[in-house]
Amino acid sequence: MLAGTVAFMALSVLSFAQPTFPENGVADPRHGYYAFTNATLVKDASTTITNATLVIKDGRIVSAGQALPVPPGAVEVNCKGKYLYPSFIDIYADYGINQPQRPAGAGQFNFQQQPQLESAAKGPYGWNQAIKSDADAFRVFIVDDAKAKPLREAGFGAVLTHIRDGVARGTGAVVSLANEKENLVIIKDRASAHYSFNKGTSGQSYPGSMMGYIALLRQTYLDAQWYKNKPPKEGFNLSLKAWNETQDLPQVFEANDKWNDLRADRIGDEFGVQYIIKGGQNEYQRIKDMKESNATFILPLNFPLAQDVEDPNDAQFVSLSDMKHWEMAPANTAAFEKAGIPFCLTTADLRSVNQFWSSLRKAMEYGLSESKAMEALTKTPAVTLGIYDKVGSLEPGKLANFLITNGPIFNEKTIILQNWVQGMKYTVKEDAASVAGTYALTVNGPAGKEDYTLDVKNASTITMFAKDTVNAKFSFDGKQVKITYAPATKRQRGGAAMPGDSTRRMGGPGGFNRGGGQMEQPLPATATRLNGMDNGTEWNGTGTDSLGNPLTWTATLVKLAEPKMDSAVKKPVPDVGKVIYPFQPFGWNETQQPKQETILIKNATVWTNEKEGVLQNADVLIKNGKIAAVGKNLSDPSARIIDGTGKHVTPGIIDEHSHIAAASINEGAQSVTSEVRITDNLNPDDVNIYRQLSGGVTTSHILHGSANVIGGQTQLIKLRWGANAEDLKFKGSAGFIKFALGENVKRSAFTGGNNRYPDTRMGVEQVLVDAFTRAKDYQREWNEYNAVKEKLVKEKKSTASLVPPRRDLELDALVEILEKKRFITCHSYVQSEINAAMEVANKMGYTVNTFTHILEGYKVADKMLKHGSYASTFSDWWAYKMEVEDAIPYNAAIMQKVGLTVAINSDDAEMARRLNQEAAKIVKYGGVTEEEALKMVTLNPAKMLHVDDKVGSLKPGKDGDVVLWSDHPLSIYAKSLYTIVDGTIYFDRAKDDQMQKEVDAERLRLVRKMNGEKRSGAPTTPAQPSYQLMHTCSEHGHSHGLLVIDADDISND
């Protein structure tokens, strides 16, 4: 420190003056004109200049370069041995914003409390309270030095801050972390626009699901576009106006999770917006998809703690995926770097900013490189926000936001000494380490001069000797020096223990010895005490000797210690196992990915579902993902042969009514939500996909729930375990939509008194009539518009003055029904409502494609046949609610005999894996033939889903969706041995046993690793059972075990 000058350079305590503000006193204009010389200057992540000079003035960088002269008028600060870096930028901070808090329970839509159906916001806002596009962070931003200080100490100089409230959150502002007036600190007022899948303080019920969030955003994009034409009917809509005004800013979406990242990105793709995505910790689980999003990510560094899994009874309920995630999450940023995806780092989500460095170091230990870390903290955020002209590197014209460190910044031992923000110095830590060296100490006491040599190791360790070593203590805080010393005892000097020595007594005979080093010996009360100041070239001070006499003293630097290089050998990146797809037990890693094969099943009983019926001792050849041949004595030299002797082959089972593999199922906050789409929120991580493969299911129709009359659009999927959401979809399948009637839509199970229309079956019918009446008007409006437009185009006239009608996603879906481009599957039970639904359909000119559940279908089967409906029902469910009082297990058989095409569905993740047995019950109750019964879970659902040209029977050319059963497929003793989708074996019972062993071994490894973490003293968190959220039709009465929580029982938010 004696040689350095950084520490004692005068600190400006004054701000730069603002011209418009009157001065109370005498003006003191300063320019903060400094030249930092002899530094190692890291201009940006890829450029380092040695022996550099950085000149700043008026809060900005004037020049930066090698060995530049110190300009006249500038104060020189010698930075020999120091490093200069651009200060970091956090573009996901909430600094200086008083974040609104959501009242407990607000905005939930469930069976326990009355929903708030309309916006409670007062003012000229849009219809949905969660769209707060008019909010501006800069209007509410207040400098808060208590919050700024830890950020500055972590190395940050500027942040992007915004109000974290709502689905649309308005604009964010870039502010510096200087402790100055807001006027000077706000670097860019409107720097970004923000969005999320979280309605925040909005108490409005809608959106009540992930699908609803997506639909709300999509509709708002459309509405805002439409609003540009100033539609008189809408009046003044501040929310849409502000939305439009902020579209040119960088658009930031808080998604926080790998699937949500992709959901957000898809919204952006639809409306020509490339979001900057605030991610979570789990993107490494789908890094290819992240790359394909083309987004820049903002990544947090909050890694899960090890769980305390010492008690095996606790460990048992911690899932493999949670433990694996604990192990792999710190490698998330490294995965982004490896994949070449641009990203910024943020302190957001950390429990405290103080954890930033330990978390960053962890990320680096797990493979994040130094240069990428630097880039992610400086250039990338600046470029992403379009403020690289102001911050992000050390170049002339930019803000003087820089760090001074005593070594390369990412070295373990390096300390950030100062963080200069807008040309203002903020000391982070005194450079106590650079005190190290040899000093000549002269003490002037009453007895004359005594000379000592001080060998200072660091700010708290010293060896002091004259002829002999003296017992001394030392401390240095950057300015003040304290030395206390006393002559050492003989033992200390010689190192030989004396008889009666205290160390011996403590340990007893053969007791422990505290090692061979010098003992830390308490100093006697009579020790000599020296106190002084660091004066730059020497230390001067006063003191008291052992007799109480006053002293003065001086210490002069003889030689600075050679700075110690960071000797820590770079640890190898820890082995964190492999990513598995999906990130669930029984997922496969990249080397195990199931592949399409040529498969020949020989000598089996083959249920073709074609006119050939059931073939004995027959073969099935699957090639290129399709059924290639069915018959006797087939051969194919390239095929994998599976012996089917004594076994049965059937087409893959198709579940017409399922709620697996989705992030949300019910958007019940309105009675008509045809705008929401299951496809927007598929969840490929649902282990029930694998479980249902084990029961021979290959295709599932994922339906919206039954919370409202017109629910959401459905998605047909194939159970391609491990695929992403896009690849789960059954390509080329027709669009469907869920309708529902009866008790659920009138909220009969709701204990708080229903306030959502309808409350009776009378009202249900009117909701349908009203929706389709509106849809027809809407259809006509568009038809008229299109006709006029077409005419103008034909006549080569301008269409500029033609204002298109408002696009309404809700009505779009209903028009698709009217145009026979979308088909209905309608949850229904009792004969009155079935007839009413058909009557409305007949009047409005559409058909109810499928009545699902339809447990009283047997009462009106003739009418359903006449209407042209299909029926999808349960085998033997009844008496779980009033409207199934008359449900009978003969229902399916009666409907089938009347001539309807009947399917048996599951609506239940457990029963779905026994659908073959459910079909068998239709033989038991009602006496249909076994072939007809099997069709009820294969060909018949294919027909009603309009995919019977692709699946449902074993016919050459159809998809290779096949099950090999151990026994008669309608028997309770039958198990799927192979479940094949598109010629790919996704379930193999023999392999499943092996995978179970691997799951158990991996669990054991991770439990041991977590226990090791605990024993090593690392913080742990109590074991948290891995609860699973399950979505259902809202039928209740299901119980799926200890760890499953029905989504209906909690907030749908």
Number of neighbours of residue 301 by Cβ within 10 angstroms: 25
Binding status of residue 829 toward another protein by CB under 8 A? no
Contact 41, 49 (CB under 8 A): yes
| 117 interacts with another protein by CB under 8 A | no
User: Quick one: which of 652, 1003, 1010, 1013 contacts another protein (CB under 8 A)?
Assistant: 1003
Q: Which is nearer to another protein, 99 or 502 (CB)?
A: 99
- The least distance separating another protein from the CB of residue 52, rounded to whole angstroms, comes to 42
Contact range with another protein by CB under 8 A, out of 556-564, 688-696, 802-810, 837-845: 688-696
| One residue of 117, 305, 383, 734 binding another protein per CB under 8 A | 305
Q: Does 287 bind another protein (CB under 8 A)?
A: no
Q: How far apart are CA 388 and CA 1007, in angstroms?
A: 46
Question: C-beta of 698: minimal distance to another protein in Å?
Answer: 16
- List strand residue ranges (DSSP E) for 703-756, in order: 710-713, 715-718, 735-740
Residues 536, 76: Cα–Cα separation, whole Å: 15
Shortest Cβ 918–another protein spacing (Å) = 8
Q: Which amino acid is at 523?
A: L
Asked if 289 touches another protein (CB under 8 A), the answer is no
Of 583, 823, 965, 978, the residue at the interface with another protein (CB under 8 A) is 583
Binding status of residue 523 toward another protein by CB under 8 A: no
Q: Quick check: 878 binds another protein (CB under 8 A)? A: yes
942 lines the binding site for another protein (CB under 8 A): no
Token pair listed for 141: 């931003």
Q: Rounded to whole angstroms, how far apart are CA atoms 424 and 16?
A: 9
* CB closer to another protein out of 417 and 662: 662
The neighbouring-strand residues paired with 631 are 619
Q: Prior bond to 330 cis, omega within 30?
A: no
Question: How do beta strands 34-44 and 75-78 pair?
Answer: parallel
Question: What sign results for the dihedral spanned by CA atoms 144, 149, 150, 156?
Answer: positive
Contact status: 801 vs another protein (CB under 8 A)? no
Query: Between 737 and 1030, whose beta carbon lies closer to another protein?
Result: 1030
What count of Cα atoms within 13 Å lies in the side-chain half-sphere of residue 216?
A: 28
Exactly one of 397, 613, 868, 1025 binds another protein (CB under 8 A); that residue is 1025
Q: Tokens 């496969």: give the residue.
A: 588
Which residues, at least 6 apart from 304, have a Cβ–Cβ distance to it below 8 Å? 281, 322, 325, 326, 329, 1021
Identity of the residue, 612 or 886, whose beta carbon is nearer to another protein in the bound complex: 886
Query: How many CB atoms are closer than 10 A to CB 361?
Result: 16
584 lies in the site for another protein, by CB under 8 A: yes
- Express the helix, strand and coil content of the chain in percent, nearest 5 each: 25, 25, 45
Q: Pick between residue 641 and residue 1045 the one whose CB is nearest to another protein.
A: 1045
Minimum distance between the CB of residue 209 and another protein, rounded to whole angstroms? Answer: 14
In 446-566, DSSP assigns E strands to 448-458, 461-465, 469-476, 480-487, 528-534, 538-544, 550-560
Question: Looking at 299-307, 371-379, 559-567, 957-965, which segment touches another protein (CB under 8 A)?
Answer: 299-307
**Which residues inside 343-362 make contact with another protein, applying CB under 8 A?**
349
As to burial, measured by CB atoms within 10 angstroms (0-12 exposed, 13-18 middle, 19+ buried), residue 509 is exposed
**Identity of the residue, 710 or 1030, whose beta carbon is nearer to another protein in the bound complex:** 1030
Cβ proximity to another protein, 469 vs 1051, nearer residue: 1051
Considering only residues 251-270, where is the footprint of another protein by CB under 8 A?
256-257
Q: What is the DSSP string of 841-854?
A: HHHHT----EEEE-
Question: Which of 270/885 has CB closer to another protein?
Answer: 885
Among 38, 51, 971, 1011, binds another protein (CB under 8 A): 971
Cβ–Cβ contacts within 10 Å for residue 532, how many?
21
- Which residue number, 60 or 968, has a Cβ lying nearer to another protein? 968
Residue 676 in the binding site for another protein (CB under 8 A)? no
104 binds another protein (CB under 8 A): no
Please check whether residue 686 is in contact with residue 259, taking contact to mean a CB–CB distance below 8 angstroms.
Answer: no
| Residue type (1 letter), 180 | E
Q: Which stretch binds another protein (CB under 8 A): 489-497, 593-601, 645-653, 687-695?
A: 687-695
Query: Interacting stretch for another protein, rule CB under 8 A, among 144-152, 215-223, 777-785, 973-981?
Result: 973-981
Query: By CB under 8 A, what part of segment 736-765 binds another protein?
Result: 743, 748-749
**Residue 1018 contacts another protein per CB under 8 A:** no
- List phi, psi (to 5°) of 669: -75, -10
What angle (nearest 5°) sits at the alpha carbon of residue 248, between those of residues 242 and 253?
Answer: 80
Q: What 3-state class would DSSP assign to 470?
A: strand
Choices 264-272, 418-426, 614-622, 1032-1040; region in contact with another protein by CB under 8 A:
1032-1040
**Binding of another protein by 920 (CB under 8 A):** yes
In this structure, what token pair is assigned to residue 774? 């509106």
Rule CB under 8 A: is residue 991 a binding residue for another protein? Answer: no
Instruction: Name beta bridge partners: 39.
Output: 52
Residue 447 burial (10 A CB sphere; 0-12, 13-18, 19+): exposed
Cβ proximity to another protein, 361 vs 975, nearer residue: 975
Contact 439, 421 (CB under 8 A): no
Distance in Å, CB of 724 to another protein, minimum: 14
Q: Within 307-326, which residues bind another protein (CB under 8 A)?
A: 307, 313, 316-317, 319-322, 324-326
φ/ψ (deg, to 5) at 319: -80, 155
Q: How many residues does the chain have?
A: 1053
Q: Is 927 in the site for another protein (CB under 8 A)?
A: yes
Position 63 contacts another protein (CB under 8 A): no
From candidates 161, 422, 683, 984, binder to another protein by CB under 8 A: 683
Tokens representing 883 are: 């409207």
C-beta of 258 vs 822, nearer to another protein: 258
Rounded Cα–Cα distance for residues 982 and 278 (Å): 36
**What's the min distance (Å) between Cβ of 942 and another protein?**
22
**CA dist., res. 725 & res. 678, Å (int):** 11
858 binding another protein? (CB under 8 A)? yes
Figure out which of the listed residues 688, 724, 850, 873 binds another protein, where binding follows CB under 8 A.
688
Residues 619, 622, 628: CA angle, nearest 5 degrees: 85
Burial class for 596, CB neighbours closer than 10 Å (0-12, 13-18, 19+)? middle
Q: Is 200 in the site for another protein (CB under 8 A)?
A: no
Of the pair 618, 911, the CB lying nearest another protein is at: 911
Answer for which of 93, 462, 682, 861 binds another protein (CB under 8 A) is 861
Q: Which residues contact 927 (CB under 8 A, 6 or more apart)?
A: 893
**Using an 8 Å Cβ cutoff, are 738 and 704 in contact?**
yes
Q: Under the criterion CB under 8 A, does residue 102 sit at the interface with another protein?
A: no
Site residues for another protein, 135-154, by CB under 8 A, read: none
The DSSP string of 586-606 is T-B-GGG---B--EEEEEEEE
The smaller minimum CB distance to another protein, of residues 64 and 895, is found at 895
- Stretch of 267-275, 354-362, 905-913, 1009-1017 lying at the interface with another protein (CB under 8 A): 905-913
963 forms part of the interface with another protein (CB under 8 A): no
| Binding flag, residue 930, another protein (CB under 8 A) | yes
Site for another protein in 19-48 (CB under 8 A): none
- By beta-carbon proximity to another protein, the closer residue of 98 and 316 is 316
Q: Is position 862 an interface residue for another protein (rule: CB under 8 A)?
A: yes
- Does residue number 221 form part of the binding site for another protein (CB under 8 A)? no
Asked if residue 421 lies in contact with residue 178, where contact means CB atoms within 8 angstroms, the answer is yes
Site string for another protein, 399-428 (x = CB under 8 A): ------------------------------
